[in-house]
Amino acid sequence: MISRLLSLEQWKSWLWSVVRFTLITGLSFVILFPIFQKISTSIKDKSDLYSAVVVWIPQNFSIDNFKQAIRVMDYWATLLNTFALSATTTILTTLSCALAGYGFARLKFKGSNLLFAGVILTILVPPTTILIPVYLNLKSFDLMGLMTLIAGKPANLLNTYWPFILTAITANSLKAGLYIFIFRQFFRGIPKEVEEAAYVDGAGISRTFARIMLPNAIPSIVTVLLFSFVWQWNDSFYTTTYLTSSKVMSTQLSSLPYNLAQQVSDGASKADPFYLSMIQDTGILLAILPLIIIYLFVQRYFVESVERTGIVG
């Protein structure tokens, strides 16, 4: 009887190992296959497109695709602009969301639960539902009539970084509701005795938050920093809406096929669509390459922070 039970437990353990291996392998394939495909495409020569024997490994290795994509995208200037925008909004979003999360976790006031329900609602409601009013407000931005009083007319904030800066400062940026929730849950897990000891020493709410709570919230800060930076870097919804003429990764990628077709066509004939697709894949690879490099350096801290903030649970 005991041997049968042991055998049953062994079979269950073996079956779970097979299921786990299958799931991990499947997820890895879904994530890595597009990346490997783009790497293979980016190092192919144009002649390999029409070779029946070339699938993954090219017959003629070439970096001309990278040169072409870098030139058409104005890659280095675009990289600098995207990094500056992502870093600025990330820092401002993290600070504002940490402050909001601390307020919801520790400061009880009338209507706080209703206000926090609104924060959760921003996670559930698609951003497209409020895009038009936000767009119109940014196009004719007038803070309580001050802009009209000073300049004589409302300010047009489109095609500037101000929409991202203002939404980051006010904790209304991309995925801000999720970041506020992460900070709120983390601050609620810190014992109140830590704050009470600071109050006894004469520290106020602001000083307690800056000197006591923020240093203890390093795991959640790291998590939000990485999430915010990656999501802002990859964002194509807000950037293509607010920045139609600025050089950032998403706008350059969206216009890459058109710009490339204009440059490689001779006017009498259209550009090869397969070649355009190859250059576009190379541009996508160049766009995600900085994120891959960053992740290689911070993956250990990111995994530890996610575990300590309890997101996986």
Ranges 27-31, 214-218, 263-267: which has the least confidence: 263-267
DSSP bridge partners of 44: 61
Strands annotated E in the chain: none
Q: Which helix (H) or strand (E) holds 142?
A: none
* Neighbour count for residue 276 (Cβ, 10 Å): 18
- List of residues 6+ apart from 108 with CB closer than 8 A: none
Average pLDDT of the residues of the chain: 84
Tens-place pLDDT, residues 136-157: 888 888 877 777 777 778 888 8
**How would residue 313 be classed by pLDDT, with cut points 50, 70 and 90?**
very low
* pLDDT greater than 50 at residue 312: no
More confident residue, 145 or 226: 226
**How would residue 268 be classed by pLDDT, with cut points 50, 70 and 90?**
very low
Alpha-carbon span 210 to 102, nearest angstrom: 11
CATH number of 71-309: 1.10.3720.10
* pLDDT greater than 50 at residue 89: yes
Ranges 60-64, 170-174, 177-181, 299-303: which has the least confidence: 299-303
Cα-based distances in Å from 15 to 4, 20, 26, 287: 16, 9, 16, 40
* pLDDT greater than 50 at residue 176: yes
Cα dihedral 85/86/89/94 (nearest 10): -160
Tell me what pLDDT residue 198 has: 82
Tell me, letter by letter, the H, E, C secondary structure of 50-65: HCCCCCCCCCCECCHH
> Which among 78, 80, 83, 58 is positioned nearest to 283, based on CA atoms?
78
Tens-place pLDDT, residues 122-134: 888 888 888 888 8
Alpha-carbon span 190 to 216, nearest angstrom: 8
Alpha-carbon span 243 to 8, nearest angstrom: 61
Tell me what pLDDT residue 184 has: 92
**How would residue 265 be classed by pLDDT, with cut points 50, 70 and 90?**
low
Alpha-carbon span 165 to 89, nearest angstrom: 6
* Portion of the chain with pLDDT greater than 70, in percent: 91
Distance in Å from the first CA to the final CA of the chain = 37
Q: What's the rounded mean pLDDT across residues 256-272?
A: 68
* pLDDT greater than 80 at residue 62: yes
Alpha-carbon span 74 to 247, nearest angstrom: 8
Tell me what pLDDT residue 44 has: 86
**How would residue 272 be classed by pLDDT, with cut points 50, 70 and 90?**
confident
Tell me what pLDDT residue 97 has: 94
pTM, 2 dp: 0.83
Burial class (CB in 10 A: 0-12, 13-18, 19+), 292: exposed
Tell me what pLDDT residue 68 has: 87
Domain ranges of the chain: 71-309
Alpha-carbon span 304 to 267, nearest angstrom: 55
Tell me what pLDDT residue 278 has: 86
Alpha-carbon span 115 to 110, nearest angstrom: 9
Cα-based distances in Å from 165 to 75, 88, 90, 94, 128: 23, 8, 10, 12, 19
Tell me what pLDDT residue 4 has: 56
